[in-house]
Structure 1
Amino acid sequence: MTTQKYKDMVEQRTKMTLQEWTEQSEVKEKDIYRFLHNLKGTAGTVGLPDVEQFAEDTLPYFMESSLKSWSVEEWGDYLYPLIPLFNVHSLAASSSVKALDKKGPAETLTQNDILLIDDDVELVAYLKESLERQNYYVSIALSAERGLKIFYETKPDLILLDILLPDKSGIEVLNQIIGKAKKERIPIIIISGEYSKATQMQAYSLGVMDFLPKPVDIDLFLVLIKNRFQLKREWQESIIVDDLTGAFNRKHFNQVMKQLIGDFKRTNRVFSLALIDLDYFKNVNDTYGHLIGDEVLQGFSELVKNSIRLEDTFCRYGGEEFAVFLPHTDAESAMLVIQRIQERFAATDFFAKNEIFHVTISSGISEVTDAENIADKLIEEADQALYASKHAGRNQTTLYSDHLSTTKKHSVLNVIVVDDDTLIRRIVTSQFAIWEPENIAEVKVSSYANGLDFLQSDWYAVDEKYIILLDGVMPDLDGVEVLERIRKTYPEVNILVIMLTGRNNQADIVHALQMGADDYVVKPVHMPELLSRIERLAHRFLF
C-alpha cells in the first residue's frame, strides 16, 4: 500500500470520528486525548506533518485521566480546524515510511554502540536523540544495576556514566567495570553535575578518558564522541591480540584467512577452519557472575593454545565464539584435534559459590576445496556445521557436508506489535512482512489492538525469541502495565521490549526503562530506523 493511501486512510478515519462525535451529546475528555495522541503518532509516520503538529499542539489541552465530558460546541472549537489541514500540500513534507529493499532496511545504523548510564531522564532523552541523529546506537540505563547488566551482556563500544545514580555511585560502577573496560578498550566518559577537583581526580585515576561537567554543550559533546571513536578505531587497527583471552582477534582472523586462501590458490595446500562456541555460556554469567565467566573464557583459551600446533592459529571470533585455523590439515584430521579439545574442556573443573561446575563446547569444521575457496563461504559452512552440533544437543563436533547446506539455519524471530491504533499496526506489520534481516531465517509478525488481548492470547512458546513493540498509551491496560506483567511472568532472556512513546512522555520513558524495557522509539515512527534498531537488538540475543 502506498504512502498516499495511508494518508487517505488517516483523513477518512479522522473525519469519521469527528462525524460520529457530532451525533453524540457529549464526548469524554479521555477519548479526545487518545484520539489526538494516536493522530499525532500516525500522522507523523505517514507523512502529514501539519496534522501531526496540530495534534501535538492541541494535546496539552486534554488529559487522559480527566472524567470531564465535552459538548460538541466545546470540543469543536479545538478539533474542527484540523479538517482543512489534510488538504494542505507542503513541499517540505516527506514520508516517514520509506520503500525498503527486501534484503533489509534502506538505512542502517553504524556499529558504534554507546551505553548511557544516567537517571536524568530529560538529559538522557536529549543525548540519545542527538547521538542517534549521528548514527550511533544508544542503550539507556537509569540505574547502576541496569547499566552493569547491559555492560556485561552487550559489550558497548563507549560508556557515558553519571557520578550520581539512584542505587550506587558512578565511582562504584567504575571500580566494578574499569578492569574489563580497559581490557576490551572501551572508553569511559563521565558526564556529571558533580565535578569537584577531587571527584575528577578520582575518576581520572581510575581510568576514565574524559570528564564532562553538566550542562553539556551538545556541539562539543558530539565532536568529542566522534573523536573518541576515531581513536578507538586506531587502537583496534594496531592490535591483533584479544586482551582478555590472549587469543588473536577478529582483525587477525581476517588476515590469516586471506593468507591461507591465497596459499591454497597458489599451492593447492588444504586447510581447515573450526568454529567453536561455549555451550550455554550466558547461564554461566547469570549463575556465577561475569568475573567467573571471564575465568571460563581464559581457561578455555589456555587449554586450546596448549592443544594446537605452532602453525595453527587460535582466534576469538566474538563473545564466547572462537575459531581455529589448521593449515595443511583436512577436515577429518582437524576433527580429531577439536574433539580432543572438547573432551579435555568438558572435564575441566571450574569453582564458584563453593561448588564445582563444568562447561562444554560445540564446534563445526569446514575444509577449503577447489569449488569453495572463498572466505565467506568457508565461514558459512563452518557455521552451519556448528549449528548442526548445537541442534543435535551440543557438546559435539560436526564436519560440514553438502546435506547441511540444504538445511538453512532456522533462527526464528517473533515480532509482536501491541498498539490500539489500527493504522499504525497495519503500517508496521506490512513493513515487517517484507523484511528479510541477515542471518534470521524467519520473521513471524503478529499484532494486537490492546494489552489485555495480547496477554490473554497464547503468544509465548518456550523455545522461541520475541521482540515486542508496545505502545505506551492504550485503553484499559497501558503499555507500562503490560511490560510489568511480561517481566514478571516470562524469562527476560527470550523477550526484548521496545516501547513506542510520545515525544513529551518523559515520565512514561522513565517508568518503562525502570520496568525493564530494552529500548524506546519516539513517535512518529521512522520505519527504516526502527527496522535497523530491531535487527541490531535481534542479533544481540539470537546469536
Structure 2
Amino acid sequence: MTTQKYKDLVEKRITQTLQEWSEQSQITEKEIYRFLHNLKGTAGTVGMKEVEALAESTMLFFSDDSHKNWSMEEWGEYLFPFKTLIDKNSSSIMINPPNSANQLNNEECRQSEILIIDDDVELVAILKEALEKQSYYVSIALSAERGLKKFYGSKPDMILLDILLPDKSGIEVLSQIIGKAKKEYIPIIIISGEHSKEIQLHAYSLGVMDFVQKPVDLDLFLMLIKNRFELKREWQEAIIVDELTGAFNRKQFNQTMKQLVSDFKRTSRIFSLALIDLDHFKKVNDSYGHLVGDEVLQAFSHLVLNSIRVEDTFCRFGGEEFALFLPNTNAASALLVIERIQKDFSSLKFSARDEIFQVSFSSGITEVTEAAQESDKLIEEADQALYASKNAGRNQTTLYSKLLSAIKKDSVLNVIIVDDDALIRRIMTSHFSTWTPANIATVNIKSFANGLDFLQADWYSSEEKYIVLLDGVMPDIDGVEVLERIRRTYPEVNILVIMLTGRNNQADIVHALQMGADDYVIKPFHIPELLSRIERLAYRFLF
C-alpha cells in the first residue's frame, strides 16, 4: 500500500470517529486520550506532521486515568480542529518508505553500538536520540545488573557509564568489565554528576578513557564520541592478532582472503575456507560465566593453532565464530583436517562450578573455483554450509555444494505486533511481509489488537525465536504489564521485546527497561528506522 493511501486512511479515521462521537451524548476522557495517543503515533509515522503536532498538543488537556464524561460541546472545541486541518490541507509532507525491507543489509546491522548504563532516564533519552541521529545504535541499561548482562551479551563498541546506579556503584561495574573491555578494545567513558578529584583519579587508574561531567554539553559530547571511535578504528587497524584467543583478527582475515584470491586468479592455486562456530556457546556463558566462556575460546584456539600447518591462517571471525584458510588444499582434504580438530575438541573436558562439561563446534567448508573466486561469494558459500551443519544437529562439518544454495535455512523468526491501533498494525504487517533477513527461511508476522488476546493466544514455541513490538499504552492491559508477564513466563533468550511508546511516557520507558525490554522506539517512528532496529536485533539474536 502506498503512503498516500495510509494518509487517506488516517483522514478517514478522523472523520468517522468525530462523526460517530457526534451522535453520542457523551464520550469518556479515556477514549479521547487514546484516540489522540494513537493519532499522534500514526500520523507521525506516515508523515502527517501537522496532524501529529496538533494531536500532541491536544493530548495535554486529557488523561488516560480520568473517567470524566465529555459532551460534544466540550470535546468538540479540542477535536473539531482536526477535521478543519485535514479539509484545508490534504498535502501533508510524506516520508517515503523504502521500496522493500530487503534494502536493509548486514552493514546496517553492524553499525557501532553504544551501551549506556545510567538510571537518569531523561538524560539517557536525550543521548539516545542525539547519538542515533549520528547513526550509532544505542542500547540502554538503567541498572548495574542489566548493564553487565547487556555488556556480556551484546559486546558493545563503546560504554557510557554513570557512577551512581540504583543497585551498585558504577565503579564496581567498571572493575568487573574493564579487563575484558581492554582486551576487546571497547572504550569506556564515565558520565557522572559525581566528579570529585578522588573519583576521577580512581576511574582513570582503573582504565576509563574519559570522564565527562554532568550536565553534558551535547555538541562537545558528540564530537568526543566521534573522536573516540576514530581512535578505536586506528587501534583495530594497527593490530592483526586477537588478544583473547591468539588467532588472527578480522583485519588479517580480509588481507588473507584478498591475497589468496589474487593468487588463484594469477596462478590458479586453490585454497579452501572453513567457517567454524562453537555450538550453544551462549549457554556456556549463561551457565558458567563469561570468564569460563573465555577459557573455552582460548582452549579451542590453542588446539587449532597446534593442529594446522605454518601456511594455514586461523582467524577469529567474530564472537565464537572462527575461520581457517587452507592454501593448496581442496575441500575434501580440508574436511579431513576439520573433522580431526572437531573430534579432538569435543573430547576436551572443562570444569566449572563443580561440573564437567564439553563443547562441540559446527563447520562449513568451501573451495575457491572459477565460478566462485570473489571473497563475498566464498564467505556466503561457507556460511551456507555452516548453517547446514547447524540445522542438521550441530557437531558436524558440511562441504558446500550448489544444492545447499537451493535449500532455505530452517531458522524461523516471528515478529509479533501488539498494538491497539489498527492502522499501525496494518502498516507494519505490510512492510514486514517482504522482509527476508539472511539465513532465515521464514519470517512469520502476527498482530494482536490488545495485550490480553496476545497473552491468551497459543503464540510461543521453544524451538523458534520472537521479536515482539509492544505498544506501551493499550486498553485493559497496558504494554508494561504484558512485558512483565512475558519475562515471568518465557525464557528471555528466545524473545526480544521492543516497546513502542509516546514521548510523554517516561515512567513507562523506565519501568519497561527495568523489566527487561531490549529496546524502545518513540512514536511517531519512521518505518525504515524500525526495520533497521529489528534487523539489527535479529542479526545479534539469531547469529
Say whether the fold is shared (TM-score over 0.5): yes
- Contact kept, 8 Å, 2:391 with 2:410, in 1: the verdict is no
**Residue 105 of structure 1, CA deviation:** 4.0
Moved more, 27-36 or 401-410: 401-410
SS in structure 2 at match of 1:517: coil
Q: What aligned pairs does 1:189-204 form with structure 2 within 5 A after superposition? A: 189-204=189-204
SS in structure 2 at match of 1:293: helix
- Contact kept, 8 Å, 2:109 with 2:539, in 1: the verdict is no
**Residue 5 of structure 1, CA deviation:** 1.8
Distance 2:368 2:7 in 1: 54
- Contact kept, 8 Å, 1:110 with 1:136, in 2: the verdict is no
Query: What is the percentage of aligned positions where both structures have the same residue?
Result: 73
**Residue 411 of structure 1, CA deviation:** 2.8
Distance 1:330 1:177 in 2: 43
**Residue 407 of structure 1, CA deviation:** 1.1
**Residue 110 of structure 1, CA deviation:** 6.5
Q: What aligned pairs does 1:350-389 form with structure 2 within 5 A after superposition? A: 350-389=350-389
**Residue 89 of structure 1, CA deviation:** 3.6
SS in structure 2 at match of 1:366: strand
**Residue 152 of structure 1, CA deviation:** 0.6
1:233-272 CA-to-partner distances (Å, cap 9, x unmatched) read 1111111111111100111111111111111222222211
**Partner of residue 495, structure 1:** 495
**Partner of residue 93, structure 2:** 94
**Residue 458 of structure 1, CA deviation:** 1.4
1:451-510 CA-to-partner distances (Å, cap 9, x unmatched) read 111111111122111111110000001111111111111111111110000011100100
Q: Which residue type is aligned with residue 172 of structure 1?
A: E
Cα–Cα, structure 1 residues 96 and 481, in superposed 2: closer, same or farther, change >3 Å?
Answer: farther
Q: Which residue type is aligned with residue 532 of structure 1?
A: S
Q: TM-score, normalised by structure 2?
A: 0.97
Distance 2:9 2:404 in 1: 47
SS in structure 2 at match of 1:480: helix
Distance 1:46 1:278 in 2: 43
**Partner of residue 505, structure 1:** 505
Q: Which residue type is aligned with residue 493 of structure 1?
A: V
**Residue 442 of structure 1, CA deviation:** 2.7
Distance 1:517 1:96 in 2: 28
**Partner of residue 20, structure 2:** 20
Q: TM-score, normalised by structure 1?
A: 0.97
**Residue 139 of structure 1, CA deviation:** 0.2
Q: What aligned pairs does 1:211-226 form with structure 2 within 5 A after superposition? A: 211-226=211-226
**Residue 102 of structure 1, CA deviation:** 5.1
Q: Which residue type is aligned with residue 385 of structure 2?
A: A
**Partner of residue 40, structure 1:** 40
Structural RMSD (CA) = 1.6
- Contact kept, 8 Å, 1:45 with 1:95, in 2: the verdict is no
Distance 1:467 1:355 in 2: 33
Moved more, 67-76 or 476-485: 67-76
Cα–Cα, structure 1 residues 110 and 143, in superposed 2: closer, same or farther, change >3 Å?
Answer: same
Whether 1:247 aligns to 2:229 is no
Whether 1:118 aligns to 2:118 is yes
**Residue 382 of structure 1, CA deviation:** 1.5
Distance 2:331 2:80 in 1: 74
Cα–Cα, structure 1 residues 49 and 414, in superposed 2: closer, same or farther, change >3 Å?
Answer: same
Cα–Cα, structure 1 residues 373 and 105, in superposed 2: closer, same or farther, change >3 Å?
Answer: closer
Q: What aligned pairs does 1:521-536 form with structure 2 within 5 A after superposition? A: 521-536=521-536
Cα–Cα, structure 1 residues 150 and 183, in superposed 2: closer, same or farther, change >3 Å?
Answer: same
**Partner of residue 65, structure 2:** 65
**Residue 333 of structure 1, CA deviation:** 1.6
- Contact kept, 8 Å, 2:415 with 2:466, in 1: the verdict is yes
Q: Which residue type is aligned with residue 261 of structure 1?
A: V
SS in structure 1 at match of 2:298: helix
Distance 1:439 1:398 in 2: 16
**Partner of residue 182, structure 1:** 182
Cα–Cα, structure 1 residues 322 and 483, in superposed 2: closer, same or farther, change >3 Å?
Answer: same
Distance 1:290 1:415 in 2: 30
SS in structure 2 at match of 1:61: coil
Whether 1:103 aligns to 2:105 is no
SS in structure 1 at match of 2:60: helix
**Residue 347 of structure 1, CA deviation:** 1.1
Distance 1:472 1:223 in 2: 33
**Residue 99 of structure 1, CA deviation:** 3.3
**Partner of residue 290, structure 2:** 290
Distance 1:114 1:100 in 2: 29
Q: Which residue type is aligned with residue 163 of structure 1?
A: I
**Residue 223 of structure 1, CA deviation:** 0.6
Whether 1:5 aligns to 2:5 is yes
**Residue 378 of structure 1, CA deviation:** 1.6
Distance 2:108 2:369 in 1: 34
SS in structure 2 at match of 1:241: coil
Q: Which residue type is aligned with residue 411 of structure 2?
A: S
- Contact kept, 8 Å, 1:96 with 1:525, in 2: the verdict is no
- Contact kept, 8 Å, 2:109 with 2:535, in 1: the verdict is no
**Residue 108 of structure 1, CA deviation:** 4.7
Q: Which residue type is aligned with residue 14 of structure 2?
A: T
Unaligned runs of 5+ in 1: none
SS in structure 1 at match of 2:211: strand
Moved more, 155-164 or 486-495: 486-495
1:170-215 CA-to-partner distances (Å, cap 9, x unmatched) read 0000000000000000000000000000000000000000000000
Q: Which residue type is aligned with residue 309 of structure 1?
A: R
Q: Which residue type is aligned with residue 284 of structure 2?
A: V
- Contact kept, 8 Å, 1:139 with 1:519, in 2: the verdict is yes
**Partner of residue 276, structure 1:** 276
SS in structure 1 at match of 2:98: coil
